Amino acid sequence: MNSPSRQTILIVDDQEENIRVVGSVLSLMNYDIIAATSAAQAMKRLQARTPDIILLDVMMPEVDGLAACRQIKEDPRWAEIPIIFLSAADDKNVIVQALEAGGVDYVTKPFNRAELLTRVRTHLSLKQARDSLQRLAEDKDEILGILAHDLKNGIVGIQLSAGLLMERAGALPSRSASLAENICLTSDRLLDHLKIFLANQRAEHLQMHCAPVDLHGVVKRIITQASPAAQSKDITLDLVNHTDGVLVKADHEALSQAMENLVSNGVKFMPSGGTLQVIIERPMLGRVKCIVTDSGPGFSEEDRIKIFRRYQRLSAVPTGNEPSTGLGLSIVKRLLTQMNADITLSPGAGRLGGAEFVVSLEDAAGVAVDDTNHSS
């Protein structure tokens, strides 16, 4: 059995003599060597065992090294394996093509033994570092997920207990009633912070499945959900649709989350008596605009510079004592970018005097709609 520390190198070359020469050099450094004399044989070797690095000849019959590299990189199981090209050709154009195909380096034949070993060691070390960081990131996400779940359950329990106390506030001493109310407000804020954090985690790991989505239906549902919070602040919510049957190419869950953030942000930062409109229009062939405009305080020039950055506190403050983490708009930007959409903040005051965000989405008119009842 191989030692766990031994690393595996797959050498792909149609000339067996080249494999022997390269393999003999690398074997002296305690690497395990796998050989393949064609792209087809290399794919079979990969199916049986995943190497740590691949040395791939450029010029091979039937399927050349460039095509083989692209084929390997298209498979998620092998996409992260570093590939070093080996070739007698010192043509700069070939080198550029090799790197564009997915290679990490290029060594010309006849190669210098010390140079080859150094490049192999360097890329193996880089891969080990990336793998280690990936494992740390996965461990971090798992731990945070467990903590967030446990915290959420605990906060919900506190909310329920405080709510029961508030129902009997009339029978409690004034000091106790005040404390119960404070517990309710604090637990509400903690839960809101936790929900925003979990939304950010979902945005980072959401697998996009873009399909035609009824934009009007998504926005209408979000406005309905936001109405209680808006009514409590005497804010008017309007949906203005300038075009019929608006289908956009998007991920339903991601689009819902992005639009919910924009609408809820507008309500959160707007003073009592304001207005928020969501306007849907098709200004040009191939794109659909969804404009979220309000009569709130808008943004300062300093705000505009950092508005889509993570954890950025802006000058405006919530008008109803709501929590603000500085994550909402960065989540929106990330979600929309992943589905080939875009968001911009209109310069100056919007049409209602406050902030105006313009979301540009890919038009999907004429294709069957994804009307799945996703939770937003």
Residue pointed to by tokens 């004399």: 37
The verdict on pTM exceeding 0.85 is no
Q: What are the Cα distances from residue 141, in Å, to 152, 192, 201, 208, 241?
A: 16, 20, 8, 19, 40
Q: Is the pLDDT of residue 226 over 80?
A: yes
- Rounded mean pLDDT of 103-122? 89
pLDDT level of residue 305 (50, 70, 90 thresholds): confident
Q: Is the pLDDT of residue 369 over 60?
A: no
For residues 1 and 49, the model is more confident at 49
Q: Which of 25-39, 43-57, 141-155, 260-274 has the lowest mean pLDDT?
A: 141-155
- Rounded mean pLDDT of 266-278? 91
pLDDT level of residue 110 (50, 70, 90 thresholds): confident
- Rounded mean pLDDT of 55-72? 91
- If one counts every other C-beta atom within 10 angstroms of the C-beta of residue 94, the result is 18
Q: What is the pLDDT at residue 375?
A: 42
State percent of the chain over pLDDT 90: 37
Highest mean pLDDT range out of 240-249, 268-277, 308-317?
Answer: 268-277
For residues 234 and 148, the model is more confident at 234
The model's pLDDT over 154-196, given as tens digits with 9 standing for 90+, comes to: 888 888 888 888 888 778 788 888 888 888 888 887 877 777 6
Q: What is the pLDDT at residue 1?
A: 42
Q: DSSP letters of 144-169?
A: HHHHHHHHHHHHHHHHHHHHHHHHTG
Cα atoms in the 13 Å half-sphere on the side-chain side of 64: 10
For residues 295 and 144, the model is more confident at 295
Q: What is the pLDDT at residue 166?
A: 82
Q: What is the pLDDT at residue 322?
A: 62
Q: Is the pLDDT of residue 323 over 60?
A: no
Q: Which of 62-66, 132-136, 144-148, 269-273 has the lowest mean pLDDT?
A: 144-148
The sign of the dihedral angle between the CA atoms of 120, 122, 126, 129 is positive
Q: Which of 90-99, 117-126, 166-175 has the lowest mean pLDDT?
A: 166-175
Highest mean pLDDT range out of 109-113, 154-158, 294-298?
Answer: 294-298
Please give the backbone phi and psi of residue 268, each rounded to the nearest 5 degrees, phi first.
-60, -40
Average pLDDT taken over every residue of the chain: 84
Q: What is the pLDDT at residue 285?
A: 75
Q: What is the pLDDT at residue 2?
A: 45
Q: Which of 338, 330, 194 is nearest to 253 (CA)?
A: 338
